[in-house]
Amino acid sequence: MRTSHVLFVALLGVCLAAEAAQAETAAAPVRKPGFWETTMTMEGPHAHVMVTKVCTDAALERRTAMFGGANPGKDCSVHEMHRTAGGFAFRSVCKRHDVTTTTAGKATGDFNSLYRVESTTRISAASGPPGRERHMVMDNRWLGACPAGRKPGDLILPSGEVMSMATPK
């Protein structure tokens, strides 16, 4: 799987969890600002592990929906979300063109030093083959303040390439 597709799937999983979190209450978990490392483990026929790092702040969290201000009404609707003893469980459905993506999972942790998102995503297209299912675990840990030279939105890929997740204010 190409890096851009893997990155898309990883970010999709985090955003879906964020949308579910935001749907419940304003007190939904929010990541601590700083430098976060994500180890994404994708299971299945294209199993792999990918480690990325991102520098974030409160404003970026709100804009990118990484446990912040998601807009689930655009392409996604959250069908179920509830708090659990250690976090929350979610189920969401996104439709874009003829593709439907259904994700169910849970997020646990303190969101200050670490959290884990476990999810199962089923992707199906009206005009395509039967749906594919992907299982993913994302372990996220806070590394500290953003390093010198890094700004909120800097996403560091396994190759060392830096992409910007920042969007205009």
Per-residue pLDDT reduced to its tens digit, 135-169: 999 999 999 999 999 999 999 999 999 999 875 54
Q: What is the β-pairing status of strands 132-144 and 114-125?
A: antiparallel
- 18: helix, strand or coil: helix
User: In angstroms, rounded to a whole number, what is the distance separating the alpha carbons of residues 104 and 13?
Assistant: 10
Q: What is the mean pLDDT of residues 3-22?
A: 44
The pLDDT of 41-65, averaged and rounded, is 85
> Does 58 score more than 50 pLDDT?
yes
Round the average pLDDT of the chain to a whole number and report it.
77
3-state secondary structure of 133: strand
| pTM (predicted TM-score) | 0.73
The pLDDT assigned to 141 comes to: 97
Percentage of the residues of the chain whose pLDDT score is greater than 90: 37
Q: How many CA atoms lie within 13 A of 57 on its CB side?
A: 10
Burial class of 116 by CB neighbour count within 10 A (0 to 12, 13 to 18, 19+): middle
